[in-house]
Chains A and B, each alone.
Chain A
Amino acid sequence: MATDLQFSSGPVISVRNLRISFRLDRTTTFDAVKGISFDVPHNSTTALVGESGSGKSVTSLAILGLLPPENSIIDPRSEIIYGGRNLVTVPIGELRALRGGDISMIFQEPMTSLNPVFTVGFQLEEVLRLHMGMTGRAARERAVALLHEVGLPDPQRRVDFYPSQLSGGQQQRVMIAMAIACEPKLLIADEPTTALDVTIQKQILDLIAELQKKHQMSVLFITHDLAVVGEIADHVVVMRNGEIREKGPAKQVFEAPQDAYTKALLKCRPQLDRRPVRLPVIDDFINGSPRAAADLPDRRRGVEPGDPVVLTVKDLGKSFYSREGLFGTREFKAVKNVSFELRKGKTLGLVGESGSGKTTVGLTLMRLHEATTGQAIFEGRDLLAMSQKEFMPYKRRIQIIFQNPYASLNPRFTVGQILTEPMQIHGIGTGAQDRTDLAFELLNKVGLSEVSFYKYPHEFSGGQRQRIAVARCLTMKPDILICDESVSALDVSVQAQVLNLLQDLQDEYKLSYIFISHDLAVVKYISDQVMVMNEGEIVEIANSDEIYRHPKMPYTQKLLASIPKGWAA
């Protein structure tokens, strides 16, 4: 360990006037970070908050010197002061000694950050060998002790496991063990809980907070989620488009935000205790629109027994089979005996952790997966028992919006082609002219300009692409829309816009939604009824206010207790 560095009582690391740009091609560069300055104080947690493209991850990579040298340019006047040295100009060898030793990092995806062909013990011992010079039994004992410290059950046995034998949460614990192995002074955590389920997220957050206090480390916590920040941070730095919008102690930022953008971020996110008719969006705050300040009335949600039913699902089951041995097959029941009713013009929220089968329910209803058992009654007919040909006219009636707007639009089609294709297939509209007009109309409806018709998907941002996906579904005039994690990949501000759009469309066309999400706050906001799933089975189904106020089943209670509460004064 490089122990010759001297620290005064000041900050562990000071970033001064950091300016980073990326070379896009020979002539153009893109300014990712535009001269930011902030400190990470000793023995505390600093959160770097921002949406995608804000430059928060680039900043953290710059601290570790991990930016790709071939296309990134750090302005030579930038300073990253650590222990009296400027990390921007320090030789690479010295930087390498600091990495993993004095400064270490946890990444977003534990599954891809661990090497799958080595045991976790081996990978931990490697860190200890490289930075602490520990070998043999000493290294192994220390590895077991570290795994014990990060709360991995039965560490004596699991030290010899391969990463694939551990769950996502356990893998992230191993990553944390590697990061704290050398008693770092600064731990950088880049979205460490984003890929994890909400119950696991809570455990990991608690663990990081506990370790921070125990080892008196400084933590630089990078996230897009203000609710998480509220739980963990002492200091907050809010970034947008490569600039710092606001920084200060967490109490000040949460209770008396000065910057319009910070205020917007705090308001855009659906809250568990309120349900305004319309969510405020960032632009309202930035432009100082009166809508920002307006206290909108709450929307009433819920299903009455008399509401007409549009889709009845009975005993839906889906099994996947994997080959085992030479002839054997093994059955995995992804969905078991799921029954529910979807009411016209209402939203059914479907929540559960990963592997709960909620996405499979959606895909099976669309017949993108073949159902193993069960019925789905729509207009008196069982959709699942029809032949492909019989199903064709019904196909357009149930549509789906996928999670990732970057993957669900064909990159080789123009938006015009994307929108007119379904109309062609289903014979909607009298001719090409009619279809084009309808496409223009729908683009307006989802809030895109008519010029978009001629553009390709890669020219749009994530939120805009999701609007295109919504417009594609609307071309077929569906009755039921399945939203499979449709806003989960979007930034908080964009999320609010798309949720508002979905709500407006429901009000106008009386669409029925099945809203699948792991995000309990969003589901609470948009749903009339909520169905909680776990391991392929329904745990509980009730009106959304009812379920959030009085959860009956222990699993639901556990799930709701794990939601980050945000800033609690």
Chain B
Amino acid sequence: MPHDVPMKSPAPALAPREIPHTVSPGLWTLAWRRLRNDYVGMVSLAIVGAFIVLMILSATGLIAGDWSREVGTNYAPPSFIGADVEGGTPAAPAAAPTAPPPASEYKTSIVDPIGDVIAELKGEKAAPAVPGAAPGAEEKSVDPLADVMADIKAGKGVKGETAPAEVRAATLPFGGDKWGRDVLKKTIKGSETSIFVGIMSAIVATILGTVFGALAGYYGKWVDDAFNWFYSVFSSIPYLLLVLAVAAVLQQKGMLTIILILGLTGWTGVFRLIRAEYLKHKAREYVQAADAIGASNARRMFIHIFPNVSHVVLVQLSILTVGFIKAEVILSFLGFGVPVDVVSWGSMLNEAQNELILGKWWQLVAATVAMATLVTAFSLFTDALRDALDPKLKGRHGH
């Protein structure tokens, strides 16, 4: 990492015969100094940094660990708006026709999406013989929820933490979702997923693109032809189709799947750029000089050339991160993304499309604002980074 105090270069480590010297700033240090002078870049970096800190805190469970608790009333409005004045919650009238008894416990149970599943499990437990399950179920179909109700009533005293009867807040800091979960915490938890997926898949794509590009650009000839052929075929397939194909092959939903999908499909841009950089650099005199002193191919590729193209890699990495954060949102929105038990900005937006009809805008706004802030800050930071690393600005070349 670039750092204000210049890194100790490897060479002095093997120089016990110390000579008084000031450690010279390397190119990374100079780039960092330029970046530090860039006001917009530093503000963006601070914002990106804050998001990443948030992500780490959330991942370690220090904050937003309890995002899934239903702490407010359904669609609890944000505190700054105040509790809903239209009397009760909109969910109550919707629930009324199906369930006349005004029992508050009942109301919660109808929105419990896994109530049926529980009932089935109960039914199975009650009648272990599989063939006999059908009549048993039929019997209970008179009141399918009676068992559950009884169970809930009985269990209320035993396991209190899931108790739906606890007092629910009428308003939440930034509103609640359909189940009364805190949107703010949900957004924080969602940012964990989105940023993690974005960064990890960008790393996968960048590594693939860099290695392929380095090999193709450095060796040229048939190696280059082979990679180019692969690249052309790969990039001729429509993007979404490719994503669906990878998703179908992997056969499961989860964060790892999304990371692989985005990583395996996103390397092409990096490949093209890095290949061009290697083509350019392998003809440079310093690489010829390395050849002349007997440096091997691998040494020339990764020790000599790579540090000189690493700024391109770094900029590509952050461009891809921005792109993949957006891509994850789109995939989750379309339903190819994270599974239902994981929250991400994309799944929040997916829920928000129904809520918006009811006039519940806060979940949409929360996810959108969070994403827009991060993506904008990341993009501006990328620009600043590119300016700071631009070799053209490097020193005055005396010609």
Q: Is residue A14 within 8 Å, beta carbon to beta carbon, of the partner chain?
A: no
Measured between alpha carbons, how far is A420 from B24 in the docked complex, in Å? 18
Measured between beta carbons, the chain A residues less than 8 angstroms from B284 are 407
Measured between beta carbons, the chain B residues less than 8 angstroms from A435 are 14
Asked if B9 and A416 make an inter-chain contact with CB atoms under 8 angstroms apart, the answer reads yes
Asked if B295 and A366 make an inter-chain contact with CB atoms under 8 angstroms apart, the answer reads no
Asked if A25 and B289 make an inter-chain contact with CB atoms under 8 angstroms apart, the answer reads no
Binds B, one of A231-239, A281-289, A323-331, A392-400: A392-400
Q: Mark A449-478, 1 if CB is under 8 A from B, else 0.
A: 011011110110110000001001000100
Instruction: From A400, A408, A437, give the contact of B286 (CB < 8 A).
Output: A408
In whole Å, how far is B85's beta carbon from the nearest beta carbon of chain A?
A: 54
Binds B, one of A257-265, A344-352, A421-429, A519-527: A421-429
Measured between alpha carbons, how far is A455 from B27 in the docked complex, in Å? 11
For the A-B complex, the count of residue pairs with Cβ-Cβ distances under 8 Å equals: 116
Measured between beta carbons, the chain B residues less than 8 angstroms from A408 are 285-286, 288-289
Interface size range of chain A in the complex? 35 or more
Q: Is residue A432 within 8 Å, beta carbon to beta carbon, of the partner chain?
A: yes
Measured between beta carbons, the chain A residues less than 8 angstroms from B23 are 454
Q: Mark B163-187, 1 if CB is under 8 A from A, else 0.
A: 0000000000000000000000000
Measured between beta carbons, the chain A residues less than 8 angstroms from B25 are 456
Asked if B294 and A454 make an inter-chain contact with CB atoms under 8 angstroms apart, the answer reads no
Q: Mark A69-97, 1 if CB is under 8 A from B, else 0.
A: 00000000000000000000000000000
Indicate whether A411 sits within 8 Å of B295 (C-beta atoms), given known contacts A417-B11, A454-B12.
no
Instruction: Kindly identify, within residues 312 to 360 of chain B, every residue whose CB is under 8 Å from any CB belonging to chain A.
Output: none
Q: Mark B369-399, 1 if CB is under 8 A from A, else 0.
A: 0000000000000000000000000111111
Measured between beta carbons, the chain B residues less than 8 angstroms from A417 are 9-11
Asked if A407 and B398 make an inter-chain contact with CB atoms under 8 angstroms apart, the answer reads no
Measured between beta carbons, the chain B residues less than 8 angstroms from A395 are 292-294
Indicate whether A472 sits within 8 Å of B27 (C-beta atoms), given known contacts A416-B11, A451-B21.
no
Asked if B11 and A403 make an inter-chain contact with CB atoms under 8 angstroms apart, the answer reads no
Instruction: From A30, A368, A454, give the contact of B9 (CB < 8 A).
Output: A454
Measured between beta carbons, the chain A residues less than 8 angstroms from B288 are 363, 368, 400, 402, 408
Indicate whether A25 sits within 8 Å of B37 (C-beta atoms), given known contacts A407-B286, A453-B15, A454-B12.
yes
Query: Which of B25, B27, B289 has the most chain A CB atoms closer than 10 A to its own CB?
Result: B289
Instruction: From A412, A421, A422, give the contact of B308 (CB < 8 A).
Output: A412
Instruction: From A422, A454, A455, give the contact of B293 (CB < 8 A).
Output: A422
Measured between alpha carbons, how far is A506 from B121 in the docked complex, in Å? 93
Q: Is residue B17 within 8 Å, beta carbon to beta carbon, of the partner chain?
A: yes
Asked if B397 and A406 make an inter-chain contact with CB atoms under 8 angstroms apart, the answer reads yes
Q: Is residue B66 within 8 Å, beta carbon to beta carbon, of the partner chain?
A: no
Measured between beta carbons, the chain A residues less than 8 angstroms from B20 are 451
Q: Mark B126-170, 1 if CB is under 8 A from A, else 0.
A: 000000000000000000000000000000000000000000000
Indicate whether A459 sits within 8 Å of B24 (C-beta atoms), given known contacts A408-B286, A421-B293, A433-B17.
yes
Asked if A421 and B295 make an inter-chain contact with CB atoms under 8 angstroms apart, the answer reads yes
Residues of B within 8 A of A (CB): 9-12, 14-17, 19-21, 23-27, 34, 37, 284-286, 288-295, 304, 307-308, 394-399
Please list 29 pairs of residues, one from A and one from B, whose beta carbons are closer than 8 Å in the complex, sorted by A's number. Answer: A392-B294, A395-B292, A396-B294, A399-B292, A400-B289, A406-B397, A407-B285, A407-B286, A408-B288, A409-B286, A410-B290, A410-B304, A410-B307, A412-B27, A412-B307, A416-B11, A416-B12, A420-B14, A421-B295, A435-B14, A436-B11, A453-B21, A454-B9, A454-B11, A454-B12, A456-B26, A456-B27, A472-B289, A472-B293
